[in-house]
């Protein structure tokens, strides 16, 4: 199976290549991708050099242009597609139907993948994207169980890629305006969910509030870990109950499900975290590479390695297990 690894910077790209990634995904330093964070991503020169470096090591590069172009500013997204092709990337990852249509007509030789942000959650819509826009691979939304993924793969001809590790969207991806609701900045249009510019921490006599857009999302007592205030993993009250109504502050670790995902026909395993450090990326890639190499040789999964990665952190297998819903 193919390990698809995040790179938020050129240095992270080189680290991931050396750590054994089969494929790297990254984005340009602007709002054309869904990790538009300050100090992250690639300028045009860095992209060209990154692609050269990766290709010289036999590693592919995918470029995420997976936000939804703002009305009136589509040219920014069109330029990103053209520059990705000029840099020699192996594919672009797109979500917006208008942009897919544009790329199909204007860059027909550039391979197109469907981003998770398009939330294509059944075989019929996947086949439609394949037929209309020549999409070759679909990144599946995190609303499907392993069994449902197997059913989808039996009915489609394109490849599927699934998230196995890192941050977890609880809502259907690309169809959530929660962050926009409190910050006025749209993840779909501006490329950042829960942007750091709208996060504040308030220490009131040892009680630490984490706020997003002025709204308290977490409150912890001194010494307790304060999670980053992402709305869907916040603490709220409904009826008589208070708690993490949508999801606990957890991250995804589907490492143990790799054999089942392979059996379900999945081509590629994706690691979230373009905003993560180089050492994190290197460690995660090495572990997942070892796991898929072992699987390919018919050997047992390396014990304990993947569990160790999320040490001290709550994890979930998310929607891959049906009971999550």
Partner 1 sequence: MDLTVGPNQFFWSADDWANLYDDLASAPVDRVVLGELVCSKRLPFYQDRIPDAISTLLAAGKQVALTSLALVTLKRERKLTAELAEMGVEVEINDLTALTYLPEGTKFWVGPLVNVYNESTVRWLASCGAVRICLPPELPLASVKILAAVGLELGVAIEVWGHGRIPLAISGRCYHARLHGRIKDNCQFACEDDADGLDVRTLDDQPFLAMNGVQTLSYSYACSVHQFKALANAGVSTLRLSPQSKDFKEICDLYRQLLDGQLDEASVVSGIYDLDETTRLSDGFLTGIGALTGLDGQLNLDNQEPSFCQPSDFSSTM
Of 206, 294, 193, residue with least CA distance to 234: 193
Element (H or E) spanning 243, and its range? strand 241-243
55 binds partner 1 (CB under 8 A): no
287 binds partner 1 (CB under 8 A): no
105-144 binders of partner 1 (CB under 8 A): 119, 121-125, 127-128, 141-144
Burial-class residue 150 by CB neighbours within 10 Å (0-12, 13-18, 19+).
middle
Closest approach, Cβ 145 to partner 1, in A, equals: 9
Nearer to partner 1, 51 or 119 (CB): 119
Site string for partner 1, 19-48 (x = CB under 8 A): ------------------------------
Closest approach, Cβ 126 to partner 1, in A, equals: 10
Nearer to partner 1, 221 or 303 (CB): 221
214 binds partner 1 (CB under 8 A): yes
Query: What's the CA dihedral at 316, 242, 197, 191 to 10 degrees?
Result: 50
248 binds partner 1 (CB under 8 A): yes
DSSP 34-56: S---TT-SB-HHHHHHHHHHHHH
Cα 72–74–80 angle (5° rounding)?
150
288 binds partner 1 (CB under 8 A): no
Segment contacting partner 1 by CB under 8 A, of 8-16, 37-45, 91-99, 157-165: 91-99
Closest approach, Cβ 38 to partner 1, in A, equals: 20
Helix axes 123-133, 97-106, angle to 10 degrees: 30
8 Å CB contact between 261 and 227 = no
Residue from the set 79, 216, 260, 283 that interacts with partner 1 by CB under 8 A = 216
- Residues contacting partner 1: total by CB under 8 A: 80
96 binds partner 1 (CB under 8 A): yes
For residue 316, give both structure tokens.
Answer: 């979930």
181 binds partner 1 (CB under 8 A): yes
238 binds partner 1 (CB under 8 A): yes
Closest approach, Cβ 276 to partner 1, in A, equals: 23
Closest approach, Cβ 82 to partner 1, in A, equals: 15
149 binds partner 1 (CB under 8 A): no
Angstrom distances, CA of residue 284 to CA of 13, 35, 57:
13, 19, 19
**Chain centroid offset of residue 222 CA:** 32
Closest approach, Cβ 57 to partner 1, in A, equals: 36
Residue from the set 33, 66, 115, 186 that interacts with partner 1 by CB under 8 A = 186
92 binds partner 1 (CB under 8 A): no
DSSP β-ladder status, 207-212 and 199-204: antiparallel
323 binds partner 1 (CB under 8 A): yes
Q: List the strands of the sheet with 207-212, edge to edge.
A: 199-204, 207-212, 215-221
Closest approach, Cβ 147 to partner 1, in A, equals: 11
Map residue 200 onto helix, strand or coil: strand
Residue from the set 108, 222, 237, 312 that interacts with partner 1 by CB under 8 A = 237
Query: What's the CA dihedral at 35, 40, 46, 52 to 10 degrees?
Result: -60
Residue from the set 45, 57, 86, 97 that interacts with partner 1 by CB under 8 A = 97
């Amino acid at each position: 199976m193919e390990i698809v690894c995040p790179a938020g910077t050129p240095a992270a790209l080189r680290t991931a290549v050396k750590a054994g990634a089969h494929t790297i995904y990254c984005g340009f330093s602007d709002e054309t991708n869904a990790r538009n964070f300050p100090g992250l991503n690639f300028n045009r020169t860095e992209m060209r050099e990154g692609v050269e470096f990766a290709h010289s090591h036999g590693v592919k590069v995918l470029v995420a242009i997976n936000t939804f172009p703002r009305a009136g500013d589509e040219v920014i997204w069109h330029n990103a597609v053209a520059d990705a092709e000029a840099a020699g990337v192996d594919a672009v990852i797109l979500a917006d139907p208008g942009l897919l249509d544009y790329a199909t007509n204007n860059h027909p030789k550039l391979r197109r993948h469907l981003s998770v942000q398009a939330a294509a959650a059944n075989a019929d819509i996947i086949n439609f994207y394949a037929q209309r826009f020549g999409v070759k691979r679909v990144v599946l939304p995190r609303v499907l169980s392993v069994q449902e993924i197997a059913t989808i793969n039996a009915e489609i001809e394109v490849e599927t890629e699934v998230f196995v590790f890192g941050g977890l969207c609880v809502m259907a991806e690309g169809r959530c305006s929660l962050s926009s609701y409190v910050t006025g900045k749209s993840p779909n249009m501006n490329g950042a969910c829960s942007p750091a510019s709208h996060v504040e921490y308030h220490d009131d006599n040892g009680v630490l509030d984490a706020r997003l857009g002025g709204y308290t999302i977490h409150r912890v007592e001194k010494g307790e870990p304060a999670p980053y205030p992402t709305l869907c993993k916040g603490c709220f009250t409904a009826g008589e109950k208070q708690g993490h109504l949508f999801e606990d502050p957890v991250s995804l670790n589907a490492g143990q499900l790799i054999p089942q995902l392979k059996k379900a026909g999945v081509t590629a395993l994706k690691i979230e975290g373009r905003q993560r450090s180089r050492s994190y990326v290197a460690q995660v890639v090495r572990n997942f590479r070892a796991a898929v190499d072992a699987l390919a040789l018919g050997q047992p999964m390396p014990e304990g390695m993947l569990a160790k990665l999320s040490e001290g952190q709550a994890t979930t297998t998310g929607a891959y297990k049906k009971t999550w819903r």
